[in-house]
Structure 1
Amino acid sequence: MFERIAELAIRRSRLVLVVAVVVTALMGAAGSGAFAKLLGGGFDDPSSQSTRAREVIDQKFGGETNLVLLVAADGGGRIDTPAAERGGRALEARLKHESSLANVVSYWDTGDPRLRSQDGREAMVVAHVGGDETQQKKSAEHLVDTYSGTFDHTLTVRAGGAAAVNAGMSKQVESDLFLAESIAIPLTLLLLLVVFGSVVAALLPLAIAVVAVLGSFALLFLLGSLTSVADTATNLTTALGLGLGIDYSLLMVSRFREQLGTGAGVEDAVRRTVHTAGRTVAFSAATVAAALAALLVFPQYFLRSFGYAGVGVVAIAALSALFVMPPLLAVLGHRVNSGRLPWARSAPAGARVSVWARLARFVMRRPALTALPVLAVLLVAASPLLGISFGTPDERVLPTDAQSRQVSTALQQDFDGDDATAMQIMVDRQVAPAALESYATRLSRLAGVARVETSAATYAGGRRSAAAAGSAGLGRADAQRITVVTSAAPRSDAAQDLVRQARALAPPAGTHPLVGGQDAELVDAKHAVSSHLPLAIGLVALTTFVLLFLFTGSVVQPLRALVLNLVTLVTTLGAMTWIFQGGHLSSVLGFTAQPMEVSMTVLMFCIVFGLSMDYEVFVTSRIKELHDQGADTGSAVADGLGHTGRIVTAAACLLAVSFFAFGTAKVSFMQMFGLGSGLAILIDAVAIRGVLVPAAMRLLGGAAWYAPGFLRRLHDRIGLSEGGSAPAPAVPAPLAKDATSV
């Protein structure tokens, strides 16, 4: 396969490049509409109790409250004045004419004191934004833009609730993406110039990265037209498209320049580059894609969309590097070194950086003495994992000046119970009055329940409330809705315990209540992840083991890689827990400490694992190449790291820049994703590949390449190896002590 790719690049280079330009232009045109197809949210399990409860409420009761307009009189006066009342009634009337809204209720319409703040200076207008995820997102953005601010010259309106929070997150994600890329791309170009010391060589990986990024947006447009895709997938696909496109191109350009430096002709250099570096790219992409494909086992479309998009963008990056880079190299030939920069010193032909080889030899002389301190530091960094807790995104992921977050804070502090955060219980049929009263009474006795509202009455502390009547709108001939307002902080442990107690409570005979609301959604989201996580981990481990066995012919190498990748994972997740759950660096990064977002933590697990395997393949491919040429394990490791160490370090820095740029985001879980992924890449490239890999290889010795006889015979038949049809490798030059270009 790789021979045919090389011959195509050599014989039809200009035709391939023309086709690539046309395809890239088409992908760019299609990708321009990607944002219109993407959705906010996606953190809920569609088969869970809470989701089914919400669907029943939408169908039979006009939907849950997901939009709250917090209204204050201009000048800070009381909300009960005639002028404020006129404005409030006018606002309510306009909202009732909005086709996207249902169940519009205001303080002025009902006189309900729970819709007025305790100091009497603010009041609520609540409603349900209808439609599917796409329609809700568009409608909420329109409503927030239309009604926020001054209304009727007498009122100040702020928008909150779940619909406004989701709309705010979507809008902030778009802004964060633009800022991150405006930082990442110039820094990446600068680093490429430093790495290559040549303008032409530096521009080649960036060109492939542009193809990969445009392809990723075209992919998002296609996926968004076919299924639900989270808008935050743009961050992953852009960072991965840019980073992996550069990584794979960096590997191929470096190998091509190395071959030219040893005196090989341009065509032979292209063939050897495709056959060695191209093979590495293909296996690397397969391992990253396998890790991301595990996201498809989860029911939440937030995670599934990252699985679809992640696998797709990895494939686009790899195909771009395999099919576009070789013809570029064939056309440029020796001009790949043109535009040498003043600070770049020429190294002897074929010279390689030896600092990584010297480090590897030092580590292998004293493997335990050098590896144990590094391992100890990494495990200390991982220790905050022992106290990790999980949550789902709410208004706290937004900056403190976000309007929807300010409204949520005001509702919690200034109002007597927030129906928008109440537990909603749906009973699937009409319930006899006595049975309904008994069930509601028992619910009201649960610790943390402020009141229970039914169609017949309101209950508190195990008794019917004389001060508050029931709501006829909570009952139908075929269903009953029960609203449980709690005093527990939203999404707290107490609120989650209350959901579990309500679900454990014996229901009225013959009924199957569905417990919903935001706290129930959190309980269900954590269950959905925890119940599917073992399968995801098993699939990742199995596919990685198989791929690395096919790549190396050893059963020990995959096990060694899995163990060391686990070290990278726990170190990264521990550091992120210390920062984002513990609140360290919050004053610098501008976020609010809260439990780790469960879906984003799983996503980061798969990303970090895949990228760790990316560099595993980079390093192992060269070690195996040298080992197959007859070098002993120690020499193969030292010279392999001597050949690839600087490439891996440069690739890691370039990819880390793409992720670290999201540290500038205003949505806190995107900060965690960017900083965590970038940190993991650097830990893996330096501590794992530089120290722990040579130490492990030295301790394993010849056993590092062990496989049972039947598996070795299997690998000989189906494993991908270089084979005998590739051109002979150029004779490597002695390791040089210094060289400034890759």
Structure 2
Amino acid sequence: MFYSIGKFATRYRWWIIGFWVLAGLLALPFAPRASSVLRSGGFSSPDVESQQAINLLTEKLHLNLTSVQIIYTSDKYHVEDVAFGQKLDQSLARVRSWSEVARIVSYTDNPRQISQDRRAAYVNVELKASSNDAPKLLSQLEQRLGKADGLSYQIGGGPVFYEDIQKVSENDLRRAEILAFPFAIIALLLVFRSVVASILPTLVGGFAVVVALALIFGLGQITDLSIFVLNITTLFGLGLGVDYSLFMVSRFREELAQGRSVNEATILTVATAGRAVAFSGLTVSIGLFGLTFFSINMLHSVGIGGILVVLLAVLAALTLLPAMLMILGERVNSLPVRVPRLWRRRQPAIVDDHYGFWYRLSQFVMRYPVSIFSTVLVLLIAFGLPFLGVRFSAPDASILPPYVPSRQAFDLLQQRFNMRETTPIILAVQTKGDALRPDNVRHLYEYVQRIEADPRVQRVDSIVSADPRFTLEQYQLLYQNQQLVSDPYLGTLLKSTVSGNTLLIQVVSKYEMNDIRSQELAQTIRNTTPGNGISVLVDGGAAANIDYVNTLYTEFPKAVLIISGITYIVLFLLFRSLVLPLKAILMNTLSILASYGALVIIFQDGFLHQFLNFTPLGFVEASSPILLFCTIFGLSMDYEVFLLSRIQESFWQTGDNTRSVALGLQRSGGIITSAAVIVIVVSACFATADVILVKAVGVGMALAVFMDATFVRGLLVPATMRLLGDWNWWLPFVGVQRKPAIFAEVTGSEDRAALTELRDAQDAPVGGKE
């Protein structure tokens, strides 16, 4: 099949280039607009209890959670000063009359919105718009806010947080692109020592990214996609587009150096390196496919966008690149570049197999396989051990840089206000019949008293705990005769928290939302039943955190099994061995575990946080390990496929496992290292992101690829291949496979010349003298 693809690419090269140029031109107007159709949220699932609680309260009580917090601070006035209130009212005058505002809750309505130093207070502006549309109203809100002498204000809340994620993500993407392209070209110049050869991979990566972003713009019109799709799409488009092109161009130059014609070299490049590229792209897509099984929209979206750009990168590498190589021919080495002596090596990328660095390294490793295997294994496991102390949490404004409004408001609330008051545990309660019936009031009263008795509870706000002086009988009498309710606070509480058989109860914890004690309290409340057929759904920051983490890690094992199973089948078809696919999966897992340990040390504990320019979280954002697994698993398998493909070619020629490992590593080690360097460079550019989630993925990928290209590919793979011997190539009922797969693909074809040509190509030494 790949031989036929190579022939097609050479025969219709101008048509193929014309097609890609047209696709690029059509995509250009839409690619920059991709961010406009992407959503900033996507960290919740409609199936979890916390979301069901919100849906119920929104439907029954018309609870409006789309609110903006405006925090007023003053060095001149106290909150009790008349001037403070007057100037605040002046600032809000045009906001109060705005048709988009549903309600404004001031500090005079709720004294708990006053800071502990009494020099700041915030108001909640509830908007009529949905959470998706609210960020679009922020500019109008700011225009309507008037200045107040002696007071300054800061705007925060969910809509501001989502708008900031959108803006910061776009800035991160632009910065990463500006850094990644030149650094990738420099790395390619050092590898190829030719301007023309170096430009080809960046063209392929660029076409893949531009077309993918245009398609994402189209998909965004019909389904909700997360803003993080932008970063992952560009990261994979550049990284893999350059990687695949690097392997293809290197193989093409290698074939030319052996005296083959341009046509032969192009076809054989697609038939050998192109085959590895296709299977590599398939394994990467499988890893990303695992993300689509998650109900969390952010992960689901990243999976879709990632698969899209990977498939485009493979398609470009198998069609556009061979067409360009066929046209360029020997001119692929044009415009040579002088590089420092340290980087020089004989060109093309072929050395005497028995004297190259990678050959000597593999011989040393295979001389002491047990010692090296056990040492590297212990080292990688040690790198991953810090992950045993991981603390997971959902993202909040702390994942954003300190200079954005939502983060500044978040920090201000933390420093000067009681944050526990702003993040209560919310109970959506449904009773049998009217909630204010005496029997329901009695059970609710007893239920709330049990909650209040918990030592972790600061206070419970509800219609049966509004006044500690009231007895159960007084509450029952009052709610049977609601005309007797004269207290304004209790009257407001009744109107805002009760509707028919549904009511709202708020539990204020003594501890912060992310504190394990608050999360245990939320879980305890979930396990406490009021009786009398009363049902309770629990929401709030602590409960939403629990649901977010539980949802992710309930679905994660299923994704791991599916990814591993499909990858095993694909590698089995590629290598025709039962052992190699299993070994490849285990090798990849080790480098991923090592990157997990780095996540904890860096982002939870704060190691290198000043160098990486972020504030330590004290936790690991729960989706980061899953994103890393699904992306790194495929990316690491990328190098495994290229390495084992060259080892397999050598094994077909020699039939000697030990020698084929040395030859395969020698023929691919330099290129794999160069490809890894480029991916590390691109990932490091994304590690400059201001959004900590993107920064974590960039850092994790860079570290994992480094571990994979050094410890795993350079040491563990040769050691395990030596220990397993001919068992590497074992297949039931067949034994050791020796028949080249490439022959099997052409057998039965009427094109006898092609069969002869391919047989000659396989019989000839791949890397010079043997």
CA distance in structure 2 between the partners assigned to 1:584 and 1:197 by the alignment:
37
Q: Which of 99, 112, 115 does residue 113 from structure 2 map onto?
A: 115
Q: How far apart are residue 627 of structure 1 and its match?
A: 1.2
Alignment partner, residue 453 of structure 1: 461
In the aligned structure 1, how far is the partner of 2:471 from the partner of 2:559? 48
Match of 2:761 in 1: 729
Change in 2 beyond 3 A, CA 1:584/1:346: closer
The verdict on how the C-alpha distance between 1:553 and 1:719 changes in structure 2, with shifts beyond 3 A counting, is farther
Give, in angstroms, the shift of residue 483 of structure 1.
1.5
Closer/same/farther in 2, CA of residues 600 and 94 from structure 1, 3 Å limit: farther
Number of the residue aligned with 1:438: 446
1: CA distance, partners of 2:140 / 2:125: 14
Conserved? CA contact 1:38–1:231, under 8 Å: yes
Matched, 1:62 2:63: yes
2:412 — aligned with what? 410
The equivalent of 2:318 in structure 1 is: 322
What SS does the aligned partner of 1:34 have? helix
Aligned: 1:670 with 2:694 = yes
Structure 2 counterpart of 1:729, which letter?
A
Task: Report the CA distance shift for 1:669/1:461 in structure 2 as closer, same or farther (over 3 A).
Answer: farther
Q: Which region of structure 1 is more displaced relative to structure 2, 169-178 or 544-553?
A: 169-178
For residue 482 of structure 2, what is the aligned residue in structure 1? none
**Alpha-carbon distance change, 460 to 7 in structure 1, aligned in 2, over 3 angstroms:** farther
Letter in 2 for 1:414: R
Equivalent residue, structure 2, for 1:740: none
Residues 1:596 and 2:594 are matched in the alignment: no
- Structure-1 separation of matches of 2:516 and 2:745: 54
**Preserved CA contact (<8 Å) 1:173 1:667:** yes
> Match of 1:363?
365
Q: Residues 553 and 266 of structure 1: is their aligned pair in 2 closer, same or farther, counting only changes over 3 Å?
A: same
SS at match of 1:709: coil
Q: Distance in 2 between matches of 1:491 and 1:147?
A: 35
Deviates more, 1:528-537 or 1:215-224: 215-224
Deviations 1:521-546 (A, max 9, x none): 11001111121111111101101110
Q: Deviations over 1:574-626 (max 9, x none)?
A: 12211111211122223223211111221111111111111111111111112
Instruction: Give 2:751's aligned residue.
Output: none
What is the 5 A alignment of 1:642-721? 642-709=666-733
Give the whole-Å Cα distance in 2 for the aligned partners of 1:736 and 1:341: 28
Contact 1:141 1:167 in 2 (8 A): no
- Which has the larger Rg? 2
- Contact 2:420–2:513 (Cα < 8 Å) also in 1: no
The 1:628–1:405 alpha-carbon spacing in structure 2 relative to 1, beyond 3 Å, is: same
SS of aligned partner of 1:71? strand
One-letter code of the match for 1:487? K
Equivalent positions of 1:535-550 (< 5 A) are 535-550=558-573
- Are 1:265 and 2:261 counterparts? yes
Q: Which position in structure 2 is the counterpart of 1:389?
A: 391
- 2:196 alignment partner in structure 1: 200
Say if 1:447 and 1:498, in contact at 8 Å, map to a contact too: no
Give me the whole-angstrom Cα distance separating, in 2, the residues matched to 1:12 and 1:201: 21
Query: Aligned partners of 2:742, 2:98: CA distance in 1, in Å?
Result: 63
Say whether the 8 Å CA contact 1:444–1:460 is kept in structure 2. Answer: no
Give the unaligned 5+ runs of structure 1.
738-742
Over 3 Å counting, the alpha-carbon distance change for 1:696 and 1:26 in structure 2 is: same
Alpha-carbon distance between aligned partners in 2 of 1:485 and 1:439, rounded to the nearest angstrom: 15
Listed as ranges, the matches of 1:566-577 within 5 Å are: 566-577=589-600
Kindly state the Cα deviation for residue 125 of structure 1 after the two structures are TM-superposed: 0.6
> Which residue does 2:607 correspond to in 1?
584
TM-score in terms of structure 1 length: 0.93
Amino acid at match of 2:569: V
Q: Contact 1:622–1:643 at 8 Å: present in 2 too? A: yes
Using the TM superposition, name which of 400-409 and 340-349 deviates more. Answer: 340-349
Task: Report % sequence identity.
Answer: 33
Matched letter for residue 331 of structure 1: I
User: In the TM superposition, what are the counterparts of 1:61-80 in structure 2 within 5 Å?
Assistant: 61-64=62-65, 66-73=67-74, 75-80=75-80
What is the deviation of 1:404? 2.3
How far 1:11 sits from its partner (Å)?
1.6
Q: Which residue of 1 aligns with 2:518?
A: 495
Distance 1:620 1:68 in 2: 57
Q: Deviations over 1:8-65 (max 9, x none)?
A: 2222211211111010111222212211111112111211111111222333333236
Q: CA shift at 1:173, angstroms?
A: 1.4
Give CA deviations for 1:458-502 in whole Å, capped at 9, x if unaligned: 267999999974712111124211122222111110111011011
Deviation at 1:448, TM superposition (A): 2.2
Cα separation, partners in 2 of 1:402 and 1:591, compared to 1, 3 Å: same
Quickly say closer, same or farther: Cα 1:54–1:397, change in 2 above 3 A: same
Question: Could you say what secondary structure the match of 1:182 adopts?
Answer: helix
Name the residue aligned to 1:4: 4
Within the candidate set 464, 467, 471, 2:493 is matched to: 471
Question: How far apart, in 2, do the equivalents of 1:643 and 1:479 lie?
Answer: 70
Deviation of the 1:446 alpha carbon: 2.3
* Aligned residue number for residue 15 of structure 2: 15
Q: In the aligned structure 2, how far is the partner of 1:190 from the partner of 1:720? A: 40
Per-residue CA distance 1:232-284 (angstroms, 9 max, x = gap): 12111101000000001011101110000000001011110111111111000
Provide structure 2 residue ranges, at least 5 long, that are not aligned to the other structure: 476-486, 748-753
Moved more, 251-260 or 725-734: 725-734
Aligned residue number for residue 479 of structure 2? none
Q: What is the letter of the counterpart of residue 211 of structure 1?
A: F
User: Letter of the aligned partner of 1:61 in structure 2?
Assistant: H
Q: How does 1:34-183 map to 2 (within 5 A)?
A: 34-59=34-59, 60-64=61-65, 66-73=67-74, 75-108=75-108, 110=109, 112-140=110-138, 143=141, 145-146=142-143, 151-183=147-179
Seen in structure 2, the aligned counterparts of structure 1 residues 457 and 685 have a Cα distance that, compared at 3 Å, is: same
1:238 aligns with 2:234: yes
- Structure 2 CA distance, aligned partners of 1:361 and 1:403? 58
Q: 2: CA distance between counterparts of 1:270 and 1:513?
A: 67
Write the distance in 1 (CA, Å) between the matches of 2:338 and 2:125.
65
Aligned residues: 731
- Tell me if the contact between 2:420 and 2:512 (Cα under 8 Å) persists in the aligned partners: no
Aligned to 2:350: 351
Task: Find the residue that maps to 1:482 and give its secondary structure.
Answer: strand
**Relative to 1, partners in 2 of residues 1:477 and 1:9: Cα closer, same or farther, differing over 3 Å?**
same
1:676-713: CA deviations, max 9, x gaps? 01111111111111110000000000011112127999
Q: Given that residues 495 and 519 in structure 1 are in contact (C-alpha distance below 8 angstroms), is that contact kept between their aligned partners in structure 2?
A: yes
> Alpha-carbon deviation of 1:140?
4.5
Partner of 2:215: 219
Partner of 1:513, secondary structure, is strand
Contact 1:550 1:719 in 2 (8 A): no
What is the RMSD of the two structures over their aligned residues, measured on CA atoms?
Answer: 2.8
- The offset of 1:722, in angstroms, is 7.1
CA distance in 2: counterparts of 1:666 and 1:578, whole angstroms: 19
From 525, 528, 532, the equivalent of 2:548 is 525
TM-score by length of 2: 0.90
| CA distance in 2 between partners of 1:118 and 1:65 (Å) | 26
1:133 positional shift: 4.6
Provide closer, same or farther for how the CA distance between residues 570 and 500 of structure 1 changes in structure 2, counting only shifts above 3 A.
same
- SS of the equivalent of 2:466 reads strand
CA distance in 1, matches of 2:156, 2:47: 27
Distance 1:129 1:56 in 2: 19
94-103 vs 600-609, which deviates more?
A: 94-103
**Which amino acid in structure 2 is aligned with residue 136 of structure 1?**
A
Which amino acid in structure 1 is aligned with residue 137 of structure 2?
Answer: S
Larger displacement relative to structure 2 (596-605 or 454-463): 454-463
